[in-house]
Structure 1
Amino acid sequence: MWKLSLKVKENLLIRTGLIVIGNRAGLEADLGRNLFGQHIASDVIVKALTGFMNNGNPKKPLVLSFHGTTGTGKNLASQLIVKNIFEKGMDSPFVHFFNSVINFPYASQVETYKSQLQHWIRGNVTNCAHSMFIFDEMDAMHPVIIDGIKPFMEHQYKLDGVSYQKAIFIFLGNAGGEIITQTTLVSWKAGKKREELKLEDVETALSSSVFNYYGESNVVDFFIPFLPLERQHIVQCIMVEMVAMGLQPDHNKACEMADKIVVYIPDDERRISVSGCKRVASRVRHFMQ
C-alpha cells in the first residue's frame, strides 16, 4: 500500500473522497490492462510512484518526463496515474492539465504566461500539497515558461513560504521519439525480443536528446521512454475500440483493419506503426460504417 504522511487538512481531503490512498497493485493492473507495449514505462512509473508515495517527507517534488512518438500512450499513462491517486480522476480540483500549444500559444506573451503559471502553481499547492501538474506538448513550451516553473521542482525546503515537496509534475512530449524508435528497431534487427529492452538501453541517449528542454537543471527524476507500437499493439487498440463501440471484439477483423488503416515502417518489414494508436478510434469507426 502507498502510505501518505498527511496533515489535518490532507486527512480532510481524503475523508471527503477527493484524494485516494491507492496501491501499487491497482496501478500495475491498470497499466497492464490499458497501456499496450510499454513494459519499460509501466515498470518505471510504478516504481517511481511507489517510492514517492511511500516517502512521508520527500526532498523534492516527483518530476516525470514522458517521451516517445505520437500515439504511444503518454497521455493515457498520465490519466491512469491520476486515476489511482485522485478519486475524481482528471476531474479532480487537484489535477491541473496544460497543453502548451493551447494554453501558451503566443511567444510575445511568455512573460505573462510565466507569471500566471507561477501564481497558479503556488496557489494550488498551498491549497493541496499533493497537487499534480501535467504539461502536454512539451516540445512547444517556450524556454522562458520552463525556466519559470523549474524553481518549484528543485530540491528545497520551502519557496516563498510554500513547500512543494509532495507535488507531482508530469511532462509529455515527442522529443526523443526518433532515438527511441531507432533503438527499438536496432534491438529488433539484432534478434532481441521487445521485452528484453531495458531503461538503460535508451535512457542515456534520451536524456541527452531532451537536455535543451531542461538545461543544466536536474529537476527531472525519470526520463521515461514510450516505445513505438507494433502491429500486435494496434490490434489490441482496435479490439478496445470495438468494445467501446458496443461491438463484439473480433480478432480476425481487428487484424484485417490493422493492415488497412495503419501505416508501418520500415516499408519492407511493416514493423512499427507510424502514428501508434493515435487515430485508430476514428479510423475504426469509419471502417465499420
Structure 2
Amino acid sequence: MNTNTNIRAKLLISCLDQPGIVSAVSTFLHQYKANIVQSDQYSTDPSGGMFFMRIEFDLFKESYEFNVVREAFEDIASSFDMEWTMDLASRRKKMAIFVSKEDHCLLELLWKWRAGELAVDIPLVISNHLNLKDDVEAYGIPFFHIPVNKANKEEAEQEAISKLYEYDVDFIVLARYMQILSPDFVGTFPKRIINIHHSFLPAFIGANPYAKAFERGVKLIGATAHYVTNDLDEGPIIEQDILRVNHRYTTDQLKVAGRNVERIALSRAVSWHANDQIIVHGNKTVIF
C-alpha cells in the first residue's frame, strides 16, 4: 500500500460496553474502503461497564472524502450512544501556553516544539508577568502580557478568552501559571486545559509543596499533569512521574528535582493530548 495516496485519520470512542461495537465499527470502515492500521480498546467490565476504543485508519484519496466518512459515522455512533471524535492525523492542534515567572516547563515545550517532537502549533503565549517575553519572542511566537490582580481578574480572563478565540486555540497548557482559573474560564474550555502540579497528587496540594515535602522527609519527588476542573488540583490525572531523593536534599534541591520531573510529566501529557491518545471519563483518563 502506498501511504502517499492515503489520508490517515484517528477515531476515539467511549460508550457503554455491549455486543457488536467492534464489529460495527470495523464493518463501517471496511465499507468505506478504509484500512485500519492501529486499534486499541479497553473495557472496564465486560458485563455492563464502559468501553473505550482508539483506531487509526487510512482512507484512499480516490475512494471517499474524510468529511463524508465522518458524517456517515454518526449513524453508528447514535446506535451505540457513543461519545466520539474523528479527526485527521495531519491536523495540528493549536496550543496556547499560559505562564507566570518560572520558565522550565515553558522552555521544555518550546524546545520540543522547535525540534519537531511536539506536533502542535503554538499561536500565542499569555502571561501575567513580563519576565519571559524575550524568551517567547525569540521563538517567533506572539507574547501577550495580561496582568491579573484581585480587582481585574474577571476582566483579565475575558481578555485572555478573546485572544484564545481570536487565534482559534484548541487547547491550553498551564506551564506553571500561578493563577486559579474561574469556573467561567474552565467551563469555556472543558477537558482542554492541562495543568502541571508540582507534587505527586493527591499529596501536598496547595502552596509550598516542597517545604511540606522537606518537613515530611519524603523519599520521592513527583509531579502530576492533569486536566483542570473547578475542583482545585483534583481534575482527571493524565501523567505522573517521580524522582528518588534522600535526607541530604535541602528544600532548594528538592525544588530542582521537582522542576526536572515537572518538565517530563507535562511534555508527555501534552504530547498524548495532541496525538488524540486520551479519553476522559468522569474524573479519570484512559490513555492509549
Common fold: TM-score over 0.5: no
Which structure has the highest strand share of the two? 2
Q: Which bracket does the TM-score occupy, shorter chain normalised? A: 0.3 to 0.5
TM-score (norm 1): 0.34
More helix by share: 1
TM-score with structure 2 length normalisation?
A: 0.34
Report the structure number with the largest CA radius of gyration.
Answer: 2
Greater RCO (CA < 8 Å, at least 6 residues apart): 1
